[in-house]
Amino acid sequence: MGPTNTGKTSLAIQLAEKLDAEIISVDSIQIYKYANIGSNKAEASILKNYPHHLINILEPTDLYSVGNFRDDVMKIIKSIDKNNKTAILVGGTMMYFHSLFNGISKLPKNNTKIRKQLEKEQKEFGIKHLFQRLKEVDEESANKIHENDQQRIKRSLEIYLATGKKHSELKKDSLDNPFEDRDFLNFAIIPEDKKLFKKELNARFLKMLSKGLVEETIFLMENFSSDLKLLSSVGYKQVVDFLEKRISKDEMIEKATNANYQLSKRQITWLNKFKIQETFLTNQSNMVIKILDYLE
């Protein structure tokens, strides 16, 4: 686990070869079809040779929650167990990892009908209107959410409208850890040099642009919707703002780089919530050997 652009996929593939293991992706955007460049998905040839569970399994319009992820991972690991193989989980969506090792609140699944109604209301009256609605029914949740955080505002309202109970209250219910009796070895990769890392993130975004990120975003907007949840993720969001003429190309590049860097900082902070066997630095040469030593 760890921030974006630190070599996690490469390490997972090397380990999978050594251990004859199966790889499970822990990434909330790579799970979607057609979101290839913006999610930094491995090339199709790599995925063909080294299949990853939970990549390209959803249409861009599909809703997918932390609970859905956890349920899917449990089924996959049961299947891997039957084949007497090891599972390698790799990614940077820390909330997904957290759901496996610490459980999640017993929240209702996504309600498509209510979500569509909220999205219609948002288009008509704006996200500030929905935020005010949330404040009136669940002030505690509203106080923990930024007034422009569309996804979290709509999710909290959706939960209230579906259950009649506050999101903040349901979150306090007992947590369920599905893997309490299992052995996991957790490893992290973090950047060695923060300034250099930010330059690398900038270079990576420029490379994404040269590979067709703008065209990919246009495809998603035209064939599905500009309101797709995945288009609010880092990188895509800045391209959408550029395409809708809210920012210039230079601003898009700068904002995407800064947003990726801030995301990486949050991902590193998340690592403190886990028991990590060892934390490696990007490009460290002995990672595979060290991990295999732990397994022995």
pLDDT digits (tens, 9 = 90+) for 137-176: 999 999 989 898 898 999 999 999 999 989 988 877 656 6
Residue 147 carries which side chain, given as an amino acid letter? Answer: E
Which of 85-99, 177-191, 213-227, 239-253 comes out lowest in average pLDDT?
177-191
Q: Is 293 left (phi over 0), alpha (psi -120 to 50) or beta?
A: alpha
The fold for domain 112-170 equals: Histone, subunit A (1.10.20)
pLDDT at site 181: 74
Per-residue pLDDT of 263-288, as tens digits, reads: 999 999 999 999 999 999 998 999 99
Contact 291, 15 (CB under 8 A): yes
Give pTM, 2 decimals.
0.79
Q: Tokens in use for 84? A: 């007497």
Taking residues 12-27, report their average pLDDT.
96
Compute the distance between CA of residue 229 and CA of residue 62 in angstroms, rounded to an integer.
9
For 188, which DSSP code? Answer: E
Question: Which class is domain 8-104+176-295?
Answer: alpha beta
Q: Using 50, 70 and 90 to split pLDDT, how confident is the model at 103?
A: confident
Q: Is the pLDDT of residue 178 over 90?
A: no
Q: Tokens in use for 272? A: 């403190």
Compute the distance between CA of residue 214 and CA of residue 194 in angstroms, rounded to an integer.
27
Contact 26, 117 (CB under 8 A): no
Q: Is the pLDDT of residue 194 over 70?
A: yes
Per-residue pLDDT of 47-75, as tens digits, reads: 999 999 999 999 999 989 888 999 999 99
Contact 84, 257 (CB under 8 A): no
Taking residues 225-253, report their average pLDDT.
96
pLDDT at site 174: 52
Contact 61, 32 (CB under 8 A): no
Q: Which of 243, 177, 253, 234 is nearest to 214 (CA)?
A: 243
Per-residue pLDDT of 216-228, as tens digits, reads: 999 999 999 999 9
Domain boundaries defined on the chain: 8-104+176-295, 112-170
